[in-house]
Structure 1
């Protein structure tokens, strides 16, 4: 418990400025707590959702699937290319879906193709997770997904209360990562599922650039969730792969969680 509290204090103290424009891989659907079975529509977008900024072209993902009670559900055949229109530009993205049948947690995982960031002359690959739940039955939301790098949630990721905290643990090849730099992003403008463009933004980024926390010696970090909505966390460069096509690769771990106001 002492080490976890130490990590929480460290992360709170080290929310500092970083790059103003944070890249974030989305696996998005507006409703993450489901009552009925059925096909759930999804959008895969590589974007700057806090400031509704530049959208990056996505290539065909290397892998896209769901995990439910230890079973892997391949979703690659549900991908449909589309164009997503941000405030600054439009770019290649994907529609997709997942069939939700049984109650419990569904972890959605995308391993996108590396993206070449010309301004930095590097490739970026953000291995991203988001979550659905059917029926309010918790099953395996807190289990590692066995990814090259990932953030494992210590709070149920589909119903965090605004005003409380979220704690995650950064892993690389299953081992904790100390001192990982974690960018924190609010999805201020959620995608319109029909129009393939953002809805009206509900917040603006705070002054000083991106929100950043550092993981403690055991890979833990904690962030106070100030507002309802979707929050993303990206642990930068924590994956084992560091080069792609002869250039530097930043292999990042991304997780999205959903917060609600208590009414």
Structure 2
């Protein structure tokens, strides 16, 4: 009777796991990315640029997470930091909070836009997420000032100019926390998918690379469009979850970079 009971229990367990496996396999391994995407990475004649702020899974085109109004949104240009939080307007997507702003580039040089969002509690992972995102827009195609640091708690310092990049170019950066390089930091990479790309399986959704001992990472962008680099580190102190329990805080240093296809001169003339 005992052996028979154990055989029956094992059979039930195997059957249960068999039913569970497809459900687990169907669960996407999606990474959260704080998007901060401008209408262009280079403005040859200066002028207005529009920036969209959305908290989502870019490669899988959603879902969109509810983004409260950021604690801080601004730009560093000409060596000065300007607060632009008051310029944000509601641009909700799929019924979830998202934001938009417009800024006029009147002088040559890089404008480094950045955002400090409100902490987002992710119950599925039992932690808060704060992703400090930034993106560089080059005014008047100057090619200057692109490596300026904002001074965020966690930040990527670009080692390759993040504007005017061809598809296939390599982007390199240093992961910094409190200004110091983070050895062997993990960096997640995702493509902002417009629906034209279908991942063969979940392993292709989020690329994962590690920085070296000096906090330097390298990645070659294989397709035209916007690419997000998210260096993830844990905060020094936990925060209280909605139920009052202390939970870890994931800090993300995000940087957005655009790759552009080479177009033959004959095609441009048409």
User: Could you say whether these structures have the same fold, taking a TM-score greater than 0.5 normalized by the shorter chain as the test?
Assistant: yes
Residue 243 (structure 1) aligned to one of 224, 238, 241 = 238
Superposition RMSD in Å: 1.5
Displacement after TM superposition at 1:154 (Å) = 1.1
The Cα offsets for residues 100-147 of structure 1, whole Å up to 9 and x where unpaired, read as: 110110000001011010111211000001111111112211122211
The Cα offsets for residues 156-205 of structure 1, whole Å up to 9 and x where unpaired, read as: 1112111221111100011100111110000112xxxxxxxxxxx22123
- Which of structures 1 and 2 has the bigger CA Rg? 2
Residue 221 (structure 2) aligned to one of 206, 213, 225 = 225
* Gap change, CA 1:116 and 1:69, over 3 Å in 2: same
Displacement after TM superposition at 1:80 (Å) = 1.2
The Cα offsets for residues 68-108 of structure 1, whole Å up to 9 and x where unpaired, read as: 121112111111123113xxxx4111111222110110000
* 1:1-263 map, 5 Å: 20-85=29-94, 90-189=95-194, 201-207=195-201, 208=203, 209-237=205-233, 240-245=235-240, 246-263=246-263
Give the number of the structure whose residues are more often helix, by fraction.
2
Displacement after TM superposition at 1:241 (Å) = 4.3
> How far apart, in 2, do the equivalents of 1:166 and 1:47 lie?
23
User: Gaps (5+ residues) in structure 2?
Assistant: 1-27, 241-245, 264-270
**Structure with more relative contact order (C-alpha pairs < 8 Å, separation 6 or more):** 1
* TM-score (norm. length: structure 1): 0.83
* Gap change, CA 1:223 and 1:206, over 3 Å in 2: farther
Number of matched pairs: 229
> How far apart, in 1, do the equivalents of 2:217 and 2:231 lie?
10
SS at match of 1:84: coil
> How far apart, in 2, do the equivalents of 1:164 and 1:131 lie?
17
Give the number of the structure whose residues are more often strand, by fraction.
1
> How far apart, in 2, do the equivalents of 1:159 and 1:206 lie?
29
Structure 1 contact 84–93 (Cα < 8 Å) conserved:
yes
* Gap change, CA 1:243 and 1:125, over 3 Å in 2: same
> How far apart, in 2, do the equivalents of 1:57 and 1:204 lie?
25
